Amino acid sequence: MKTEKTFSILFIFGLITKCFDIPGHSLLLIISASIISILYFPTAFYFFSDKNLKNQNLALSIVGGMVLAMAPIGCLFKLMFWPGAQIQLTGTLIFMTILLAITFSLSKKSNEDLKIYYKNYMSRIVFWFILSYVLYTIPKSTIIIIQHHNDPELAKLKIQSYENPDNIEHEMALQNYYKQRDSLYMIKNTE
């Protein structure tokens, strides 16, 4: 449980550092999302059961682990502007909605021993559902504007480059901007 919370907090911290364009945010997001996904897929039943493996619905735990493993990767793809993010987030949201409905109906009929299991299960699904939904609804351009709020010219060039990936002129303009910015930075540091 502490491992899961630690890497979830690191993922949120990576998200915040991305908003302020702090160096290292990409590495932090990639490592934390990957580890969370790896933890959820084979060992989700451990996180849901509160260390008591007998008090759980094993089939629901396995399916939940697979769905929860998709959520951080979908969020990561969206934050890194990698292709396939919307598809992963769509699948995650659909499956999480189904799991929430099933879990809610099962928790109403469950005995007292399974109440903690269903509470842990639903809290994780709700957390990742909300984060996935927020990232699903936010356009790439908004993420770029937030990330580069202090450099609107760079934000404009990146948006043009991402919206028109086949247009070489936009990519060249972005590369020229980086070269110009880096040369100005080098001049400032040598003075």
Residue 163 confidence (pLDDT):
86
C-alpha torsion sign, points 65, 66, 68, 69: positive
The backbone torsions φ and ψ at residue 117, rounded to the nearest 5 degrees and listed phi first, read: -60, -50
| Tens of each residue's pLDDT in the chain, 191 residues | 688 889 999 999 999 999 998 999 999 999 999 999 998 887 776 666 655 656 667 778 888 889 999 999 999 999 999 999 999 999 999 999 999 999 889 888 878 777 777 888 899 899 999 999 999 999 999 999 999 998 899 899 999 888 888 888 888 888 888 888 777 766 766 66
d(CA 73, CA 21): 20
| Rounded CA separation 114/49 (Å) | 8
Tell me, what's the pLDDT at 121? 84
The answer to whether the CB of 143 falls within 8 A of the CB of 162 is: no
Predicted local distance difference test score (pLDDT) of residue 81: 92
The pLDDT score that the predictor gives to residue 19 is: 92
The whole-number pLDDT of residue 183 equals: 78
Q: What is the DSSP letter of 60?
A: H
pLDDT number for residue 114: 78
